[in-house]
Structure 1
């Protein structure tokens, strides 16, 4: 096939313990999926169904790679998250069958320009520029389900320069991985290569230039991101 311009390089993630790569199609994110985080943002977690936003696939930032402090913000926030990688897709996936579509898991960080997000919320505008900027989707190496099993509980934590800033347990998610997949597939057809960032525990906050952010999830290892 002839293209009028060179096609962009496909986005992908490393797979733990191998030289193979996992191709990434889309990145979906779940908002306010931990009760305490919802409360710290002024929302009632008992009243909200799951809602979703997205980041472009080329916003991926691999483990150990530096994040250039993004423009147009003075309030860059970290958000530690469990990332789900889909090996198969579908529409209207049932809760019971949802985990069969999971290929693997990784530690992620949903970097956010919080001040831009606050303005967008106030004006009723989309969050795209607050959430989907360059290198905003940090993600560690993927661990296949065959190696890690399905993760329904376990410590998730984030530190900045060695000081712990977030800590929770995956069991505290309001909507489980299976429920998230089922709900999202009711709105869009999910496909192999899709990633889902599953929400963050309480304690989100700002990170400055020169600091290093580390996400740890039990069973998955760490994701380290220097901010430059």
Structure 2
């Protein structure tokens, strides 16, 4: 099925091929990358970034003293629809003959505890908990067996979707606004660099109640398949994010709700829902 990802951290061997829980955060308005230590209370600060090189600074920050940011800065976000049979069934569709892809703008990305903005005039906005692949280096024409060499790691994602707009667009063969509105791509809380994505538990909670519970073993197209497919047609870049699809259980959110996406080995991505200011 899958391969454990290896951290691609070009730091003259200092941090290569090690397991990291990479967190992106700000202190006093200055942005940093760091490693979230076990227990989640302290962050070891780095200089640089995971794509061009990370070097330890010796500085340690307390999680309570920082602002946690999206783990990626303005990424390209690729999505795959109908990639769990359970979700195909609940939408009363057939398994697609070819992968169904879409993109979300970088402006749709938010981080842990950032608010999902329920759009003014919105009628039916859904959550979709997903495993997200983070690309570590440029990739083109990648074989599935080699895909792990191009993956930095994994994070949690929520493919927030405006179903009314999505259906209207899809009827004419397009899909952008239904998936790509501001705040519609929560990511986080960390990028875990050493993880086998082939059989991870995925749980989504709405206001504390479990609404999605599945395993990534149920993906129709595996992580290596998805990386290989995209790279067959376009060049993947460092920092790209690939949303791998959502299982059954998607449903509506409203202002005042709190959505949590938890994936084994990564952590919990939590986001409140607020109404758009008029």
What TM-score comes out, normalization by structure 1 length? Answer: 0.88
Aligned alpha-carbon RMSD (Å) = 1.6
1:33 aligned to 2:79?
no
Name the structure with the higher strand share: 2
Deviations 1:41-84 (A, max 9, x none): 12222x52212100011211101111121234210100000011
How many Å apart are 1:24 and its aligned residue?
4.3
Which residue of structure 1 aligns with residue 117 of structure 2? 68
SS at match of 1:142: strand
How far apart are the structure 2 equivalents of 1:25 and 1:63? 16
Q: Is contact 1:104-1:142 (8 Å) kept? A: no
Q: Distance in 2 between matches of 1:150 and 1:86?
A: 15
TM-score, scaled relative to structure 2: 0.72
| Partners of 1:142 and 1:221 in 2: CA distance | 8
Match of 1:88 among 127, 134, 137: 137
Distance 2:136 2:200 in 1: 23
Query: 2:212 pairs with 166, 170, 192, which one?
Result: 166
Aligned residues: 212
Residue 184 of structure 1: aligned partner: 230
SS at match of 1:103: strand
2:125–2:163 CA contact under 8 A, matched in 1: yes
Q: CA deviation at 1:22?
A: 4.1
Larger Rg: 2
Counterpart residue number, 1:59 = 108
CA 1:22–1:28: 2 relative to 1, 3 Å = same
- Deviates further, 22-31 or 61-70: 22-31
Distance in 2, matches of 1:103 and 1:83, equals 11
Partner of 2:198: 152
SS in 2 for 1:89: coil
For structure 2, the residue ranges without an aligned partner over 5 or more in a row are 1-22, 25-33, 37-42, 47-70
Q: Secondary structure at the match of 1:202?
A: coil
Cα deviations by residue, 1:177-209 (Å, 9 ceiling, x for unpaired) = 000000011111111111000000001110111
Determine the structure 2 residue equivalent to 1:196.
242
Q: Does 1:136 align with 2:184?
A: yes
Structure 1: distance between partners of 2:73 and 2:227: 19
Counterpart in 2 of 1:222? 268
SS of residue in 2 equivalent to 1:126: coil
